[in-house]
Amino acid sequence: MSETEFQPTERSTIHRLPSRGIYDKAKVYEVLDQGILAHVGFATKNGPVVIPMGYARRADSVILHGSAKSRLLTYLSQGADVCITVTLVDGLVLARSTFHHSMNYRSVVVFGHSQVITEPSEKDAALEHLVEHLVPGRGADARGADEGELAATLVVEVPISDASLKMRTGPPVDETRDLEIDIWAGVLPLRLETGELIADEHTPADKPVPGYLLDYPAGRS
Ligand SMILES: Cc1cc2nc3c(=O)[nH]c(=O)nc-3n(C[C@H](O)[C@H](O)[C@H](O)COP(=O)(O)OP(=O)(O)OC[C@H]3O[C@@H](n4cnc5c(N)ncnc54)[C@H](O)[C@@H]3O)c2cc1C
């Protein structure tokens, strides 16, 4: 892996519409840093499984966490080949023919071999990084995990060995013969929006809302 590019490998080379493939590290990381939900795929004795999870990128790794009782985390903590996918859907592409309907998206697929983080201060730092990724500003605000909580949590990191970004942008691509059809065509942009904050019953009514929540960016998904 070079400093700026992932080397396309047999498993990470995009064959279908290769012009939509990007291996630039900064661009791959931009998508990983905007997303909050990953789909984590791995092989089990009963066949492949893909599980939705929160995650965070840290340097050239992806951090995952879960209960020490979790089947998934127990498996990953033993060291396993994993494939992690993060998808940002940007819009529905409405063409004049059903055939040319599409989606605008940015999606990243990364591969790596998981390794467990056992040292308590490293675990705590990784968990704080996870919270900080999900809600920038929250990591420094919330109480860190105590000894018992750390013991009840498995944290793994997956150093990224190969990765690709595939994206589609722009309007529909219609057949010339369809351009005269009397139908609206274009893009319906989609993005996840934040809703109104809901304080819990223990939060005093006059407690100011942290700025990092008021400023939480739309478009993460
Ligand atoms: C948005 C989101 C974020 C999450 N973040 C995390 C996280 O950061 N860490 C974490 O540990 N877990 C997270 N979860 C829960 C996670 O999806 C799993 O349910 C959990 O990790 C237990 O996985 P397991 O394989 O150990 O469970 P098991 O109960 O052993 O899984 C057995 C089977 O149950 C089914 N199953 C498991 N999970 C799901 C599911 N989510 N939806 C439907 N069927 C399921 C599957 O068929 C699976 O093969 C998240 C879920 C969602 C939707």
Strands (E) in 60-135, as ranges, are 61-67, 81-94, 102-113, 115-117
Please give the number of the atom of ligand 1 that sits closest to the Cα of 73. 26
pLDDT of residue 196: 94
99-114 per-residue burial string, b: 16 or more CB within 10 A, e: under 16? eeebebbbbbbbbbeb
Distance 53 CA to ligand 1 centre (A): 7
Amino acid 1: pLDDT: 60
User: Ligand 1, from 39, 42, 53: best to mutate by most atoms within 8 Å of Cβ?
Assistant: 53
Domains and CATH numbers, the chain: 18-214 (2.30.110.10)
Of all protein residues, the one whose alpha carbon is nearest to atom 50 of ligand 1 is 53
116 has which bridge partners?
156
Q: Are 4 and 157 in contact (CB under 8 A)?
A: no
pLDDT, residue 18, reads: 78
CA 181 to centroid of ligand 1, rounded, Å: 46
Encode the chain (221 residues) as per-residue pLDDT tens digits: 678 888 888 888 888 777 777 889 999 999 999 999 999 999 998 999 999 999 999 999 999 999 999 999 999 999 999 999 999 999 999 999 999 999 999 999 999 999 999 999 999 999 999 999 999 999 889 999 999 999 999 999 999 999 999 999 999 999 999 999 999 999 999 999 999 999 999 999 999 999 999 999 887 87
> What pTM, to 2 d.p., does this model score?
0.92
Q: Specify the residue for token string 């990724």.
A: 133
Considering just the CA atoms, what is the radius of gyration of the chain in Å?
21
Query: How many Å separate Cα 148 from the centre of its chain?
Result: 28
Residues 6+ apart with CB under 8 A from 218: 191, 192, 193, 194
Query: What is the rounded distance in angstroms from the CA atom of residue 70 to the CA atom of residue 74?
Result: 6
Q: How many CB atoms lie within 10 A of CB 56?
A: 25
Ligand 1 atom nearest 72 alpha carbon: 26
Q: Which atom of ligand 1 is nearest to the CA of 71?
A: 26
Q: Are 162 and 12 in contact (CB under 8 A)?
A: yes
Cβ atoms 61, 55 nearer than 8 A: no
Ligand 1 centroid, distance to 167 Cα (angstroms): 27
Which ligand 1 atom is nearest residue 55's CA? 8
Count CB atoms within 10 A of the CB of residue 74.
14
At 177, phi and psi to the nearest 5?
Answer: -65, -15
CB 115 within 8 A of CB 159: yes
Question: Given the CA of residue 51, which atom of ligand 1 is nearest to it?
Answer: 17
Which residues are near ligand 1 (CB < 6 Å)? 37, 49, 51-54, 65-66, 70-73
How far is the centre of ligand 1, averaged over its atoms, from the C-alpha of 98 (Å)? Answer: 35
For residues 116 and 72, the answer to whether their CB atoms sit within 8 Å is: no
Tell how far the Cα of 50 is from the centroid of ligand 1, in angstroms.
9
CA-nearest residue for atom 29, ligand 1, is 71
Q: Are strands 81-94 and 186-189 parallel, antiparallel or unpaired?
A: antiparallel
For the CA of 64, the nearest atom of ligand 1: 8
